Each structure stands twice: as C-alpha cells, then as structure tokens.
Structure 1
Amino acid sequence: MKLKPLARCLVVVGLGAHAAAWAQEAQKIERVEITGSSIKRLKDEGALPVQVITDKELARKGITSAEQMLRQLGVNGTGADNATSNNNVFGAETDRLTGGTANANLRGLGPGSTLVLLNGRRVSTSGMSGGAVDLNSIPMAAIQRVEILKDGASAIYGTDAVGGVINFILKRDYQGASVSLDYSTPFESGGGQQRKASITGGWGSLERDGYNMMVSLSLTDNSILRGSDRDWASGFNPALGLSPNSSSSPFANIITGTGTALGSGSAVAGSGDAVKFTRINLLSLQGACDQVTNGVQFQPGLWTPASASAATKAANYASGRYLCNTDYGSQFMLAAPRKAENLVARSTFRVNENTEAFLEITASRNRVKAELTPAQFSTSASTGTLYPVNGPYYLNLKNYGVTDFDPTKPIAYRWRAQDFGNRVIENVDENSRLLAGLEGDIGAYSYKLGASIAGAKGYSNLIDGYVYTAPLVSALSQGLINPFVAPGQTQSKAAMDLIESMKARGRLQGGETTLQQLDGSISGDLFRLPAGMVQFATGVDLRHETYEFAPNADGFNCISTLGTGARDVLLCPGNTAVPKVSRNIGAVYGELAVPVIKNLDLQLALRHDQYSKIGGTTNPKVGFRWQPAQMVLFRGSYNTGFKAPSFQQLSPNTAPRDYTGTWSDPVRCPTDPTQCSIIGLDYTDSGNPNLKPEKSKQGTLGVVVSPFADFNAFADYWRVDLDQRIRKLTVTDVLNNYALFPNRVQRDANGNATLVEAGWINAADSTTRGIDWGMSYQFKHSTGTWLANLTGTHMLQAKERAFYGQPLLDYVGKFSTRTLYLRDKLNADLTWSRDVWSATLSTVYKSGYTDQDMSAKGVLPATANTRVASYTTFDLFGTYSGFKNTTLTVGIRNLLDRAPPFTHHDVDDVAGAGWDPRVADPYGRTLAVSMKYDFK
C-alpha cells in the first residue's frame, strides 16, 4: 500500500529519533499509557479529559453491564442505541440491522463516531450492520477499569474516534478465583428479572513466577418486560394528545372496495349524520371498541391538521368516526429478553526482565429477542382475500343500522391479527478475537507489537408471529379464520391450528465482519529541553476489514402485501444482499510531548490513514497542559478527525420500504387530482458507493482546580464541527424538498411517481458544543470515610441540517427522531464506608425537552402538555464484606419508583408509546442483589 510522503516522514522521524538516542540509559520508572496518547508517561503527568471508572465503582453502584454504565453518563448521547429503541420497523431513520445491540454514542454523534477499544486495541464491529461495536460483547466481569476520552482522537487512533474513545481495560496479573451472582427483579409484578453469574480465575505471578493466566466466564439471562406489565405504558391517552394512528383493530374494521359489501361507504342509522362512512366497525357503532383486548376508539380529530382543507377534514371524519383501533402501547416490548455468554482468557509471560509476551482470547454470544405488535393487513378483491358471503363468520352490518351495507357481497376488512401472536425475531451476535503481542523496553524506550484476528457474526431468526402468505390467502378466501371475534370469545381450535401451521420460522438474514490487525509502536525520551525531556511515540497500524450480508438464508421473501409465492412471508424486515467486500487500511502516526516552559507542556500528534477504496486522510492534534500553580491546571486541544463510511452505507442495496404518509406530487397534481394525495408510495433505503469520509474539526478548553486537599473540580468546554456528514436521506426529505431531488423520484410511462430513492449521502454540516463539568470531595470523619462525586454535561448547541440549502436548526432541548440533545444530564453519588460496611446513594438527572410537533399530522387538544418533563432517579446500594471471603451487595434501583415522563410522540417515528426508551427506565423500583465469593 502506497503511503504519502508525509506518512513516510513520520516513520523516518520516529525511527531516527529512536536510533539517535538508542544508547541512552535511563533509570527504569513505572510508566503507563493513557487513553488518548501513545506515549507512556508517569501516571500523574497526564491531563487529558479522561474519565476513569473502576470495577469497584461499578460494583458499589450495582452496574453489571456496559450499557448500564453509559446510560448514566452525561457525555453519552441520549440516542436510540439500545435494544428497545431499535425494536422498530417504522421510522425513516430506523436501522433494521441493529436489533438486539447496545452501542456507545459519545456526544450524540452516532455509534459509528465512538471508538470502542479493549485493552487499547480495536474489536470487530457487529456482524449484522458492521457499523459499530456491540457493547454486549465486552467481558465486563474481567474489566478492571474503563477509560473514557471525551475528546476527538483521530490523530491517535484513526477513524471512529470523532466523538471520543472508550477503552475497556482487563484485569492484569490477577491471582486467585472468584464467583459472583447478580439478580434483580422489579417490585411491581410482571417480567424484567435480570440474572448474571460470573467466575474468574487467575494463577501465576509475573513478578515471582514469570507468568500469569486469567480466565473469566459470565452468563446473563434477562426476562422480557412488556407494556402490559406497566399501567403507564399505554398508547391511548387522547386528552394528552396520544392515540394510535393505524387503521387496524383486533376486531376487524370493514372497509370500502368496489364490489364489496360496504361499496363506497354507507350512512349509519341513528348517527344524526348523512355522511357516507368509509370504515365501519361494529364495536365502534356500539361504543365498545375497548371491550376486546387492546381495542380503542380511533380519534380522527387528533390526526387531522388544523390547516387541512374542508374536504380532507370531511374525509377523515367519514373514515374515522366509526373506526376501532389498537392500543399498541400495551403490546410493545419495554425491555428485551436476553441471554448472553462472555469468555475471556489472557496469558502473559515474562520473556526476560524487559519483555512480556501475551496471548488474549475473547468470545461472546448475545441473543436478544425483539417483539413487535401483531401483523396488520387489508383484504381486497385483487388478492382474493375478501371474506366470502357464505363464510361461517360473515358479519352483516345491515342488521346494525348500516343502511347501505349489501350482505350479498363479500367483505373487505383491515385487521390486526392478534391471534397470530406478537412478531418475534431472535437477534444473535457472536464475537471473537485472538490477540498476540509483545510489550517491553529496549534501553530507555518502550515498544508494543500486536497481531490480532477478530470477527463477528450476526443473524436473525423468525421465531413467531410471521406467516407464509400463500396459505394465509387460501384460508382468508375461504373464511376459515374469524376476523370478527366478539368480546369474550376466541378463535376455534381448528382456526388456531391452521394459523399455527402457516407460521414461518427459521433463519431470516445474517452478516459477518472480520478484522485483521497488525500494529506496532515505540515511545520514549527524545532529547532534553531546558524545561524537561521531550518524549515521542511513533507507530504503524495495518488493518484488513471485510463484510458480507446475506438475506433470506432460509429462502424467505419478505413482502408487505398478501402474495401467493411459495416463500412469501408477510411483513418480515430485511435488507438486500451485500456480497463479500473488503478494504485495506494503512496508517502511520507520530506524537510528541514537549515541555515548553516549567509547568507548560504541549502534545503534538499527526496521523495519516490510507484506505484502499476511499482514499487518504491526514489529521493533526495539538494539546496543551498548563499548571501555573499547584491548585489550578488549564488544558485544551484542537484536532481534526474523520469517520469512514461503513460497508453497509457504501453498498448499493435496494431494500424496499413502504411510505405510509400522504404526498402531493408537485409535477402531476396540477393536471391530475388523483396525484394530489398519494398514499403508500414505495421507496428504497440505498447505500451509496460514492460516499466520502465524514470530516470533523473539534477542540476542548478546560480548567481543573483543587483549592484544598481531597477536593477537585473541573469544567471543559468542547466543540465538534462536522462536514460532509454521513446521513440517511429519508423519503420525507426527498418528497418535501422535491425541487432539490427530482432525480430521486422514478416515474412510469404516464409520469406518475412509482418509487423514491432515499438512502445515505454526504450531507451538510453540523455544530455541537457544550460544557462537561464535575467535582469530587473525599473526607474522613468519625462516622467513616465519605466520597462525593458530581459530573454532568450542559449542552450549549446542537445545530445541524440535512443538506445545504436548509437553515441550521438547533435541536438542544427539542424532540428529534434519532438522538435527543438534552440540555443537561448529570449523575451524582455519595459513598460512605467504614470497616466492612459501605453504602452508595446515586442519582441521575436528565432535563426535559419540547415534545414532537404534531401540527403537520394532527391537532393536539388544549389539555395536552407539549413539553416532556425532566427525569430523575435515585439508587441506593449497601455492601457488607464481613463474611469470610464474601462480599454481599443489596440495593434498590429507582428508589422513588419514578415512572417515565409522558410523551405524545408518533410511535411510527420513535419507538415507545407514551414514553421514550432513549430517556427512561421502564423497570420501576427494582431490588438488586449481588454476591461475590473469593477463593483464597
């Protein structure tokens, strides 16, 4: 791979400096490498904005997973990066390949902009999407500490480090054995139990025996929590502006159709209205929509914009007054069921006094079941699925005052098929890495060499609720399944057996990523200046990455209508195939730590990355540390960064989607009224082979003060400016800005729109800035030792636009569909310890925000609250270590049983009916118990 002259110079400078000082001998001092720098230095020298969280801190707060840890941190964005938020097939920005994963999202810049390391080296991204590391693959039972760099680091680590770096560091030289058991259960009845068991063993002392071996295995088993388990999890609260917007019901709605019983609509006797109603439900006529499970009355007023024409308002009234709907809030999954296994084994050998060799193996398997609401569909003459006149369950609405109903004709209906069960998909993610390396000193210099092979496989299995459409069409055409099951009644056994026989089960789709990496670096003293020694590091990083994605492994053909193909499956999600693709990355970097004057140091770094199919990019970083007095320290940095597009974003897939909104074609509407209200337009979410890396400019400026012993406080201003931002151009973006994207709308011979081409583009710019702050104080008292910590992030601005030509809009404190930029997030904890006792009270605060603007979709009632309230929870944990070799921790999460704040957002845009899983904890008050036994 060719390297630019600048890159070659970095290697020459680094090696030349190494050779010039090779003969120098220095007194051996224990040095450590800090995340964000390749230079080993004395532990107390660094002043980077790095937050360190130890395993002991995690244990005393009852945190057992990486996802739990990150959800409490202000620096981590409030995004749809968890299994619950990703459990959605709706939404223009929904990624159907991230189900079951948990991702980091520093600064809210997206999971692909946060670099996740294990012991300072990369791990493979998730096998399904290939876009980010699944945090479930991190072996938390063997983690000694977590270092979070809250600054861009492309000049050190390359791509993905725009938002920052999270480095999980394994236990080192561990000896002995321990077993730990963790269990939690909500106080309120229902699901949501979480179980984890871990065993860790280590033997051999590097210092005494010349070797150390450690093995750790953990097992996780979490139960599902459903909306039906919580009273607040309702999608039906019209007084506050929340009501379902689908047109399906557990008791089917009868709809219009040529040659069908309802024809073009009917008057209803006793309604006091001469309107021809176009969708009619018997239960709604009787005021009894809620008499069937999850049934509710449709609210046409909430889904009719005030600006709509009189004709539109009349049409919505005619189609909605006697329409029943489904409260899908109680059907939604609030927390996913999960089973996981994590294994890590590490062997370290002392080759000689100055050299260590190590071999590290990690492996994990994470299985998460996603549940979606039961399938909904409409029958029609064209699909041959009208309910036949002679069917055993024929419903004659003429007997109930529907005057124009014709019982001599078949019935067209729309049905939420609850008897088919929730749609369940099992998402499996398997990860592994084999790493071998050498670390040591040669004279006054430290070096690192590593070679690794990592891979991830992800796949989805259809478990329940999905059916083959061919037998379904046959059954519907014969009227063998009852879409009009009355309250208190059930389907016949024959019908349920028939439904069970047509279910599709098996492998839906799968993907695989691999990462082969060879890296090496050397660091040490370079030469002395009057203010001190200049230190350097230089290194190389060579990687080979691959990705492939194969849909329909068992031959499923996912369709959105009632087809008759032998392998057609109704409404299963999927993307098109990505044949195996690969790329090579070569990088060289150099770094200097320069003491300018006493107590003023500079960090200078430069890295060049060359991608085989994208091109090259060079990124510098300049940082400073100035400590004019013992009690105060100033720090800051400026750097550029980049994020390379993922393989999925680059691949020209053409996964079909269905746009459920209404669009008026600006080209055809003036001459053809049928093109003024187009519903159900098809579109594709395509990758883009011409994507370029996303570019960033960013910096920090901060101060740390310690006016008296055991107290310190800090504040860091930060800013990230992005350009050519990699963003999904949604179908709504295209349709609402047709003048900018006319070529993305395909048309037939008559000029009518047939397909919209959405997908990934290098979009416009964004600016994100804020202040990280915190303080800590430890003091000893006759009652014990007390430690108080308080950290937070205050967002100043999050301006972005989808593409040039639009104004920059600030999203801080406002609803958005992927990441919420909350004005303030903070967490605080107070820990007391004495002898064998300790206790920690912690709190997490997330500020409120303006709820989704529904004016374009409907009218909120005067009683609706347009602002989502802030969310504060308290946890209390106590630990006792007085039993022999045993540590017992008991605590209560969400001590005050704070329910999620209410939001009326459209569930088609963001998962969660009446609540937002990006913000809130659905479990409620929860008992958590942890026991650890150390074998000695």
Structure 2
Amino acid sequence: MRHLTSRPTAIALALGSLIATPPLVQAQTAPTQVVERVEITGSIIRRSVKDESALPVSSMKAVELDQRLNTELKDMMLELPQASSLGSYAGTAGPMTSLRGFGPMRTLTLLNGRRLAKEPLTNQYVSVNVIPRMAMSYVDILRDGASSSYGSDAMGGVQAFYTLGSYKGVGIKLETVRPERSGGGASRALGLIGGIGDLATDGWNVYAALDIQHRDVLPRSARPELTDGSALTQLGISTAPGLGANATPGNFTDPTHPTAALRTVRYNPMYAGGCLPPYSVPSTSGGRQTCFLDANTQYTAFNNRNDIFNFFTQGKLQLPGDHQLTVEFNHSQYEVDQYNNPAAPTVRLASTHPYYPGNGKVPAVPGLNLAGRPIDVLWSVADAGARIRNDVHTNDRIVLTGEGTIGAWDYRAAVNHGRSQRETQAGDGWLRVSGIASVQGTTSRTLFLDPKLNPFGLQDADGLALLGKASMTGQTLRLHKAENTSIDATFSRSLMKLPGGSMMLALGAELRRDAWKAVGLASNDVSPALNGQIDLLGGDNLASGATSATSTRISRDITSLFAELDVPIRSDLTLNASVRGDKYGDLGETTVNPKLSARWTPVSNLVLRASANTGYRAPSLPEIYTKETERTAMAVFNDPLLCPTVNGVATPKPGYAPEQVCSLTGYTQITKVPNNAGVKPETSRSLTFGVAFEPVKDLTMTLDYWRTQIDSVIGNRAIDYILANPSVYPGLFLRNPDGTLGVTSANGFKDAVVNTPSNVGSMRGAGLDGSLKYSSPRQDWGRVTAGVDIAYLTRWDARSEGVNNGDWVSALGFFNDVVPVNPNAGLSNATRGLNNRWRHTASIAWEGREWLVQLSQRYQSKLYDQNLPAVTGAGTSGPRDVSPYEQFNLLVRYSGFKNLKLSLGVSNLLNDQPPLTNHNAYRGYLTSVADVLGRAYVLTADYRF
C-alpha cells in the first residue's frame, strides 16, 4: 500500500532498480498522507518510503508508457529490454511477457501484489490484456527471478502492475491510431474514470475505470511488399507454386489404382485452363500438373481484429485505529478473430458424380484413364472464405483486503478469488460435414461429396445454398476455464534497533487453490452417421475441443509459509534474508526456497547490491491431468529421412513419390496425452549483483549482472528441432508399415510426431542490465530529460540428455529452436522466442510550461537466421543474419487548456519495415518484433475535472 504526498528522494528515484515508489494517486487535488508505510515490490516488509531495496527493479509509470505511444500494454512488452518478443499481433492467446526469454509461464504477473486466474487453455500465463489500463498507476519489473514474496515459480522475474491508490474527480480519454497507409489495422479507444470521497477528510474513497478498445484487422494482402516474391527469393524461400494440395479447383488422387505407387499421385482437370486465380495458380512441382493455393496473402492476416473491454473498481474505507479496508473488482474481456485458410477436406467422387472429370461439367485429364474408379479430391472450400476463429477471453477477480497496525505489528490480509474463461467460437467459414458429404457403408470413413457441390470450381446457386445451410457460425468449438482462490496474511514489525536502523521481521502464510477445467462439448462428439467422425468439415485442428466424454476438472491446493528478515547492520550495510515453503497437495511435494540479498552504500552516491535465490515450478494442470489426446497442426514440411534436402533441393528417396514424403500438409503432432504422469517439477538458481551511481545531481547510472539456470525444464520440444534431428529422436516419429509418416488415428488425424510434455533438459542465461538517466534542473525555458535502458546477453543456452553429448548448445543471438529445449513449449501459438544479444530503449524529451516533446527509440541487435538447408542451398546467398531493428516514436503534447491534454504522436516515425527472415514460421518478415502497420498517427485527448 502506498499513499504518498511527495516524490521519493532524488537518489531513490534515480536508482530506479533499487526502489519503485512513484506516486499512486492522480486526482484533481493532491491527496493527504494517510498511511506512512509502503510496499516495495519483491519484499513483504512494509517500510518507509525512504528505504531502498537491494533487488533489481525497473519501474515505469503509466504516463511514461503514454509518452512512448504504448497504446496497448503489448507495446510495453515489446519495448522491455529484458523481455523476449512472442509475437503478440497475430495470435489469439493475447500478448504475454517472457522475461529473460525463459517463457511466459516462468514470469509471474501480479495485479496489486496478487495473482490473477491464468489464461485457461494452457493454464500457463496471464495476458497483459486483462490489466485495467485507465486505472493503472505504474508497473514494476522485478528482474532477479524466483520471488520468495509472491511465489517461487517466478523464475524469470515478476511483472507487478499497480492501480491508483485512490481517485477523486472524472476523467475521459479518447485515442485513435491511424496508419498512414490504408487497408486496415486502425484502432480507437475510450477510457473513463471517476471517483468520489477523500480518505483524509471523508475516511473513504470509491472510484471506477473503464477501457474500451477496438482494432481493425490488417490482412496480409494490404501489405503486398511484405509478401513480395522478390524479397522472399533473396532469402532462399521459394515463391514458386509448390506441390498442390487442397485447392480450388481441387487436386485429386486415384486411391484404388491397381499400382500402389500411383495411388498418391495428384492431378488436376483444370490445370490446362490456368486453374482459378486468385484462388489457385498452375504448378508443375514434382513433375505434376496441379493447382496450388498460395495462402500467404489470400486468407490470412498480419494483425487480427481485436476488442478489449476492462472494468476496474475499488473502494477504500479508513477505520479507527489506523485500519483500512479495501475491496477491488476487475472484469476484463478481449476478443480476437484469427483468420485461417478455408476448410480443407478430402472428399470422394464416384464416377456418377456430376463433377467427376470427363462427365461433361469438368474436363478429363489428358492421357489419364480413370476407368471409372472413384477419386479423392483435396478440396479448399473457397466459397466459404477464410475460416475465422473467434476467441473470447474473460478474466474476473475480486479482492477484499484489510490492513493496519495491531500493537507493534503491521498486518495485511486478503481474500482473493479470480476466474477466467476462454471460449473458441466458429466465425464465418466453418462448415458441418452433414449436408455436404456422407459416408457409405457401416465401416467406411470416406466422405462422399453431395452431387450439388463442385470441388473443381466455385459453386452455383444450389451449391452456395447447401454451404449456407452447413454454416457453423456462432458454434462453440472449445471451452476452458480456470480459477484461483487464496487467503493470505502478512505481519511485519520492528524487532530491535541496530546501528543502521530497525531490524524488521515479516511473517506470512497463504492458502491457495488453483483449478482448471476443459469443458466437454456435445458438438465435438463423434457422429454415428459419420462412423465415428466429428461433424466438422476439414477436422478440428484449429479447435481441438474436448468431447463430452472427456470433460476434465482438476484442482491443486498449495499451502505456503514465508518469512523475511531485514538487518541494517550499519547505516551503510543492510542484509536481507527470506524463505518460502510451498506444499503441493496433488504432487505430495514440499519445496523450500530461500533468497539472500545485500545492499552496501560505501559513499552517499554509490550503492552496491547482490541477491541469490532458488526457485520451483510445478507442472501445469493441463500438462499432466488432461483426459484427452491433444494435437497441434504441423506446417508444411519434408520427411527428414525420406525427403532429405541437399543443396537446397528436397528429393524423395527411391521408391517414394513426392506426394508421400515431400511438402507434407495436413499432418499433426501429438502434444498432450491423458494422465501424463511422471513429469517432475522445474528448479532454478539465480544470482544478481550490481551497482548504482549518482556522480552528479540528477544523473544516475546502474549496472547489474544476472545469471539464472533452470533444470528439469517441462515442455514439448520445438518441432523444427525434432524435424532437423531425426537421428537424435527416432522414437518420436510415427511411421506406417511402408515407412511413410502419418499414422491415421481413430478420428482421422494423420499423426506424424509424438511430442508430449516431459522434462526435456536445462536452460540458462546470463547478462548485464544497464541504465543511464538524466534530468536537467527546471528553468524558465523548461527542462530536458533523457534516459536509456539496456539489456545485454552474455549467455543463453540449453542442454538435453542424448543431444550434443549432453553438452550445452548456445542460442545466443539465435531463434530458440536451435536448442533442444523450447522455453515457450505449451503455448497455444507455439511462437519461437528470440535471444538478441543487445536490446535497449531510449528517450529524450523537452518539457515546458505547456508543451512536451519526446523522441523515443527501441532497438534490438541482429539475429542469426534460421537458415534451414532447404533455403540456403544453390541459388541463394547462403546462411544470413536477421538485420538489427529499431523504431522511433515522436510525441508532441499540449496542456495549455484547462484540465485538457492533447497529444499527437507518430509511431514508427521512419516507417521501418520488420527485418527479413527465412524462418519458416514467418514467411519473410519477423513480424513478432514490429508492428507491420508502418508509420501511424496517434491522436489523444485526455480531459480531467
């Protein structure tokens, strides 16, 4: 709790990593001090504002984020030098923070010092979309990991968001972001805040804040230069049409041909007519004459449509005897539309079908004698358009807190309950099988297409009517829920006087229950009419919903005890020791994790500090308790054994057709299995030491070294790493008797790889954090402020048994998929992390009486590209680097009108494009590190009265 009447001392603010105490109250009139004790992030001891912590903490006020044109908290995540970008623009999971690149599940997210319910699909992290932006005061980033104060699972660090302590008055904020180019991606936001009551005079305060934001979709077709063939070709990414799979017009095979080797060869009756641009183009890949669907621009998006709604309210009551009661409620909802390729079924046509090649409506393939045999058509249902998946996330939390003083003890106790839900719904483009296709016989699972539908072109009126009746728009495809309920209490007091001040002791306890549920849906049950297949055209790779028979609900009880002792041995030397013990009821394990830290001030303007700690993270509930087998779709790939790449050319082994082993599509990896017992918890060790120096007034410098190692890392291996190392993981590949990949499961999936959660190895990182900040004395002409925050990696590597003889493999300056341990395993979007050696943010501003002008920059150093053999062979420039990236933002603010601030900002001032990459997950541009809007204008009006 922080109720402050003045800013901290200059040295305290300047040593930002040592103390995080910016004012919380932004009201119409300055508040009166009520309580003199404050909470320091990373400590459970309530202390006076002048005291400093020995822990490395970065603090950013909400107004500072506004000045950097952070219109969403995802922008803060991208700019934080200590975080690794996870690509927050296109995914449906919501933006997340991965401190030190160790994965968001190892970054603990707090709101006002307490946990929220996690995103429930993976139950691994909290998205920053649920944070109430209009009510936010500041955010602290605790960078030393494994916090004994909040939870030993904070191995990468803690991001702690704090709302305003109280608010009196009314505020309205309007904001719009307009790209310089047309095509989409614009956003607009409305913020409201209002509060009544004064804690000092009335003894109470109540306020509420509302955030509403909408962002338009930005289709890939709106930025053609980012998908331009010439740019991709120089990377080694082929833009020539590949071996045709599902397309419009569809490609077909002859599944009952007397010669087995010819049953997978693909043909297309519309090839001679040029296929059907823009839905497909002719291809001769693999010596075939097929039609190829280029999904790079036709259906997908760079930025998905996104809506955010946050409501936060807080009430405080000052009670006699220095006691205070607080209740807060937060409701957040965000919706994301993800744009995917059309439904892609394989359907069978008998020779009597009106659209069977050669029957009059569709030409025969020259030189091909089908002899009346049935054909299987790989069809892309272009008439239905892109499959739009609508993810609706909600997160609610209510907290009742009591705090004050009883005798010599300061106390703080709370009851906290949070719940979250993620509902995936079918938008446009989703179709049922019923009414479109049927099975014949009692055991067949082959889908025979309705005679009114044409898989070799666009539909006539009758066909469109049939597709319309099969629409699933609005149908729930999957539903997951999570809960977090806790009771906690902390007591602190002064034990005795020492030469440096009071020895402080804090004791605390917490009882917490985490619950997770995968709700089984009848709509995902198999259909008897389809002989045990789900009534969803093209399968449910994009939904992965639980059936009603596999509904899962599991909970975990955690009992925690923690203590902290702060010992000011001398006025210039303070030692701090804390310890946390956690008992996990379901695992039957108790873990004890200590933290030690020290702060030494040899001279008044120099501080030396150090800390060491251990950590513990249990497997998430879905990783070990799910009742269903879960799968993840694999991108187009070559069988690493049967279609090896030599000099950039993928060639099938003798005896195999290209369709069997090359450019494989529609395959899945098994990522979860029921009752995945035997997974051990993760453990970690962290160390930091650093210095903060104020050589002259208002000029401060900090430098911290950190080192963290995490063992028994839980997760799935990076699929690209598995494919690149088939000899290391031969047991993970699922092969048919003829050696080809893709064993067909009971519900029709072609499973190629088993990649379930397990303890895959260790990862470690080390580096330097630095900052330099300056603020000139205020003059009649104003003042100048400048600063830079730097993160420099000296190590990031991983190891796994059986790989590289068990030695460490470096990923410093690489994508994470070069190592056998994937720190982001388990995330629904499976995005690759990055380990740039250098990242920084910088700004310089001039502030006058009514004007503010600020130029800010973020920068990250070059990255060694993925450089797969398939894209670095003959005809390319060979292995390459991803170029450094920097982005400048400019803000001009005028506050000369009473109670009104007007701002004009230019985001991406120099209109820089994302850097080029040949990584197969990006198709040309590293869109996870930069907003592909290009230059955009940000207009803001903020009125307070």
Q: Tell me the TM-score normalized by structure 1.
A: 0.84
1:278: Cα distance to partner? 4.5
Q: Which residue of 2 aligns with 1:928?
A: 938
Matched, 1:696 2:707: no
Q: Is the 8 A contact 1:258 1:264 kept in 2?
A: no
In structure 2, distance between residues paired with 1:860 and 1:362? 57
In structure 2, distance between residues paired with 1:774 and 1:262? 70
In structure 2, distance between residues paired with 1:334 and 1:363? 28
Unaligned runs of 5+ in 2: 1-32, 439-446, 644-652, 744-750, 818-831
In structure 2, distance between residues paired with 1:675 and 1:298? 17
Structure 2 counterparts to residues 402-801 of structure 1, below 5 A: 403-404=367-368, 412-473=376-437, 477-478=449-450, 480-485=452-457, 491-505=459-473, 506-552=475-521, 554-555=523-524, 565=533, 567-572=535-540, 573-576=543-546, 577-614=550-587, 615-652=589-626, 653-656=628-631, 661-662=638-639, 664=641, 683-686=669-672, 688-729=676-717, 754=743, 756-780=753-777, 783-801=781-799
The sequence identity of aligned pairs, in percent, is 26
Q: 2:116 aligns with which of 103, 111, 123?
A: 123
Task: Give the AA of the match of 1:192.
Answer: G
Distance 1:318 1:858, change over 3 A: farther
Matched, 1:178 2:171: yes
Q: Is the 8 A contact 2:207 2:313 kept in 1?
A: yes
Q: Which segment drifts farther, 856-865 or 738-747?
A: 738-747
1:186: Cα distance to partner? 0.6
In structure 2, distance between residues paired with 1:718 and 1:847? 20
1:427: Cα distance to partner? 0.7
**Residues 584-622 of structure 1, C-alpha deviation per residue, up to 9 Å, x if partnerless?**
111111111112333121111111011101211110111
1:801: Cα distance to partner? 3.0
Q: Is the 8 A contact 1:387 1:410 kept in 2?
A: no
Q: Is the 8 A contact 1:392 1:479 kept in 2?
A: no
Q: 1:216 aligns with which of 203, 209, 214?
A: 209
In structure 1, distance between residues paired with 2:395 and 2:610? 37
Q: Which residue of 2 aligns with 1:53?
A: 60
1:30: Cα distance to partner? 2.3
Task: Give the AA of the match of 1:57.
Answer: E
Q: Match of 1:503, SS?
A: coil
Q: Which residue of 2 aligns with 1:336?
A: 304
In structure 2, distance between residues paired with 1:153 and 1:928? 38
Q: Is the 8 A contact 1:141 1:217 kept in 2?
A: yes
In structure 1, distance between residues paired with 2:57 and 2:352? 64
Task: Give the AA of the match of 1:39.
Answer: I
**Residues 794-816 of structure 1, C-alpha deviation per residue, up to 9 Å, x if partnerless?**
11111013545444211122233
In structure 2, distance between residues paired with 1:432 and 1:124? 8
Distance 1:484 1:672, change over 3 A: closer
Q: Which residue of 2 aligns with 1:895?
A: 909
Distance 1:633 1:202, change over 3 A: same
In structure 2, distance between residues paired with 1:848 and 1:558? 52
1:221: Cα distance to partner? 1.4
In structure 2, distance between residues paired with 1:264 and 1:641? 56
Q: Which residue of 2 aligns with 1:293?
A: 278
In structure 1, distance between residues paired with 2:337 and 2:129? 14
Matched, 1:36 2:42: yes
> Which structure is higher in RCO with an 8 Å CA cutoff and minimum separation 6?
1
**Residues 42-85 of structure 1, C-alpha deviation per residue, up to 9 Å, x if partnerless?**
323224211111122122222232212111111111224x251x
In structure 2, distance between residues paired with 1:546 and 1:858? 47
1:703: Cα distance to partner? 1.2
Structure 2 counterparts to residues 377-416 of structure 1, below 5 A: 377-380=345-348, 387-389=355-357, 393-398=361-366, 403-404=367-368, 412-416=376-380
Q: Tell me the TM-score normalized by structure 2.
A: 0.83
Q: Is the 8 A contact 1:727 1:802 kept in 2?
A: no
Q: Is the 8 A contact 2:477 2:545 kept in 1?
A: no
Task: Give the AA of the match of 2:567.
Answer: V
Q: Is the 8 A contact 1:145 1:168 kept in 2?
A: yes
Q: 1:238 aligns with which of 222, 233, 236?
A: 233
**Residues 838-869 of structure 1, C-alpha deviation per residue, up to 9 Å, x if partnerless?**
12111111222122122157846325672221
In structure 2, distance between residues paired with 1:513 and 1:66? 23
Distance 1:225 1:140, change over 3 A: same
1:463: Cα distance to partner? 1.0
Distance 1:240 1:574, change over 3 A: same
1:821: Cα distance to partner? 0.8
1:741: Cα distance to partner? 6.7
Q: Which residue of 2 aligns with 1:143?
A: 136
Distance 1:603 1:862, change over 3 A: same
Q: Is the 8 A contact 1:702 1:717 kept in 2?
A: yes
In structure 1, distance between residues paired with 2:408 and 2:472? 65
Structure 2 counterparts to residues 829-848 of structure 1, below 5 A: 829-848=843-862
In structure 2, distance between residues paired with 1:514 and 1:825? 36
1:454: Cα distance to partner? 1.2
Q: Which residue of 2 aligns with 1:827?
A: 841
Distance 1:628 1:566, change over 3 A: closer
Task: Give the AA of the match of 2:614.
Answer: T
Q: Is the 8 A contact 1:767 1:798 kept in 2?
A: yes
Task: Give the AA of the match of 1:913.
Answer: R
In structure 1, distance between residues paired with 2:224 and 2:865? 21
Q: Which residue of 1 aligns with 2:820?
A: none
Task: Give the AA of the match of 1:701.
Answer: F
1:772: Cα distance to partner? 1.1
Q: Is the 8 A contact 1:387 1:477 kept in 2?
A: no
Q: Which residue of 2 aligns with 1:157?
A: 150
Q: Is the 8 A contact 2:212 2:308 kept in 1?
A: yes
**Residues 649-689 of structure 1, C-alpha deviation per residue, up to 9 Å, x if partnerless?**
122431245666426599xxxx9977997677764212523
Task: Give the AA of the match of 1:662.
Answer: D
1:709: Cα distance to partner? 0.8
Matched, 1:850 2:814: no
1:725: Cα distance to partner? 0.6
In structure 2, distance between residues paired with 1:197 and 1:847? 36
In structure 2, distance between residues paired with 1:616 and 1:75? 31
Cα RMSD of the aligned pairs, angstroms, is 3.5
Distance 1:381 1:202, change over 3 A: same
In structure 2, distance between residues paired with 1:153 and 1:382? 63
Q: Is the 8 A contact 1:469 1:563 kept in 2?
A: no
Task: Give the AA of the match of 1:588.
Answer: L
1:153: Cα distance to partner? 3.2
Distance 1:675 1:240, change over 3 A: closer
Q: Is the 8 A contact 2:576 2:597 kept in 1?
A: yes
Q: Match of 2:897, SS?
A: coil
In structure 2, distance between residues paired with 1:258 and 1:749? 18
Q: Is the 8 A contact 1:386 1:476 kept in 2?
A: no
1:437: Cα distance to partner? 1.4
Unaligned runs of 5+ in 1: 1-26, 87-98, 267-276, 301-316
1:742: Cα distance to partner? 7.3
Q: Is the 8 A contact 2:254 2:373 kept in 1?
A: no
In structure 1, distance between residues paired with 2:243 and 2:526? 24
In structure 2, distance between residues paired with 1:646 and 1:164? 18
In structure 1, distance between residues paired with 2:301 and 2:800? 31
Distance 1:200 1:262, change over 3 A: farther
Q: Match of 1:895, SS?
A: coil
Task: Give the AA of the match of 1:70.
Answer: M
Tell me the number of residue pairs that the alignment of Structure 1 and Structure 2 aligns: 848
1:116: Cα distance to partner? 0.8
Q: Is the 8 A contact 1:119 1:168 kept in 2?
A: yes
Q: Is the 8 A contact 1:384 1:473 kept in 2?
A: no
Q: Is the 8 A contact 2:411 2:489 kept in 1?
A: yes
